[in-house]
Amino acid sequence: MRRTTLLVVSATLLTIAGYWYGNRDVTVAYAGSPIRGTVPKSYGRLVAAIPDQIGTGLIFEDGEGVIRFVSMTGMKEGELARYDQTPTHGGIPRSYGHLVAAVVNSEGTGLVFEDSQGVIRFVTITGKQEAELTRN
């Protein structure tokens, strides 16, 4: 009986001490003010949001297929032109179709395109085609 009482009292004291010590230093994180920026409507539709070195990046594609990379503050970070016949440095062929997604891995940003025949292409940010899937 004495041993049980000692055990219950010790457990109760340890619980109270742990609660009291644990609640002594409370840290509260408050959200900062939201970032405000503007993006021209001419950038087209928002296709994806990806993490990059400086935060979250947004990827837009306009009606002509131009792909733009924009930071959350609205600042344009980069642009990929599209071409029909003559390849351009850093450009993406229009025949790849519309941009449907973007992914980030250890090797960089990859873009996913799908054309009207259902062919899905994985392309690096430099325009190099990495893989192609056909749908049947």
Residue 126, CB half-sphere, CA atoms under 13 Å: how many? 4
Per residue in 73-101, pLDDT tens? 888 888 888 888 877 776 788 888 999 99
CB atoms within 10 A of CB 120: 17
Residues 6+ positions from 14 with CB-CB distance below 8 Å: none
Lowest mean pLDDT among 7-11, 23-27, 87-91: 23-27
Domains plus CATH for the chain? 41-133 (2.40.10)
Which pLDDT band holds residue 114 (cuts at 50, 70, 90)?
Answer: very high
Residues 6+ positions from 106 with CB-CB distance below 8 Å: none
Residue 75, CB half-sphere, CA atoms under 13 Å: how many? 7
Distance in angstroms (rounded) separating the CA atoms of residues 50 and 60: 12
The vertex-80 CA angle with 72 and 86, nearest 5°, equals 170
Residue 29's pLDDT is what?
Answer: 63
Please name which of 23, 41, 45 lies closest in space to residue 99, comparing C-alpha atoms. 45
Lowest mean pLDDT among 42-51, 84-93, 95-104, 106-115: 84-93
> Is the model's pLDDT at 47 over the cut of 80?
yes
Is the full-model pTM beyond 0.75? no
